[in-house]
Each structure stands twice: as structure tokens, then as C-alpha cells.
């Protein structure tokens, strides 16, 4: 889908050079994202697309924080599609989640 890579540029901007803040932000992302992915997959599996859209909405902010601008734009569209009962964007969204997970486990 997109060739962009996660980065911590935005976190660095927010921190103003405060490394402890940067580490805390990354730690929160590392803790929350795996749980949100599990919830996303579970709600999708039981076809509760409204709840799936809610979790996509939460994850969307993490996508932004990790500097994935194109993925963020895609996720806005995917969230709307879910609310319309369309789950067709799942595979592309899963690729975004995998890219984020790989980045956060390094």
C-alpha cells in the first residue's frame, strides 16, 4: 500500500528534546497497540463494525503520532467505510498495524 515508514519525529517535536518523555510515549504505544489490535480483530471477527470503527478511531491517533500521514488518511476513510458496513479495507489496515508493531518492537 504505502511505502512510508513509522518514525518518532512527531514525538521528538512534542518532547522538545526531553528523552524521558520520548521513552514514556513509546512505552505507552508499545503497551496499548497490541491490546488495541486484539480488540480490533475480535470486533471484526464478530462483525461488530461499529465497535471496530471505534477501535480504528483510537488506533488512528497512534498512526498519526508515528508519522504515517498517508496511512492516517487511509484510516480516516476505512473508519467511515466500517460505519457504512463495509469491511473491505481490512487487509490494508492490517498491513499498517503490522508495520507499526514491527517498529515498536525494535
Cell of 96: 499498517
38 within domain boundaries: yes
Percent of the chain with pLDDT over 90: 96
Q: According to the model, what pLDDT value does residue 1 have? A: 53
3 within domain boundaries: no
pLDDT tens for 37-81 read: 999 999 999 999 999 999 999 999 999 999 999 999 999 999 999
- How many structural domains are present in the chain? 1
- Which domain, by its residues, includes 98? 9-104
Residues 6 or more apart in contact with residue 50 via CB below 8 angstroms: 82, 83
22 within domain boundaries: yes
Residue 20: which H helix or E strand, with range? helix 19-45
2 within domain boundaries: no
Amino acid at each position: 500500500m504505502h511505502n512510508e515508514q513509522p518514525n518518532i519525529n512527531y514525538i521528538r517535536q512534542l518532547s522538545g528534546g526531553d528523552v524521558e518523555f520520548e521513552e514514556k510515549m513509546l512505552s505507552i504505544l508499545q503497551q496499548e497497540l497490541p491490546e488495541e489490535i486484539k480488540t480490533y480483530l475480535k470486533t471484526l471477527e464478530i462483525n461488530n463494525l461499529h465497535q471496530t470503527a471505534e477501535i480504528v478511531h483510537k488506533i488512528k491517533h497512534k498512526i498519526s503520532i508515528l508519522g504515517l500521514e498517508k496511512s492516517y488518511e487511509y484510516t480516516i476513510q476505512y473508519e467511515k467505510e466500517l460505519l457504512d458496513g463495509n469491511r473491505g479495507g481490512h487487509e490494508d489496515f492490517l498491513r499498517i498495524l503490522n508495520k507499526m508493531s514491527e517498529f515498536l518492537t525494535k
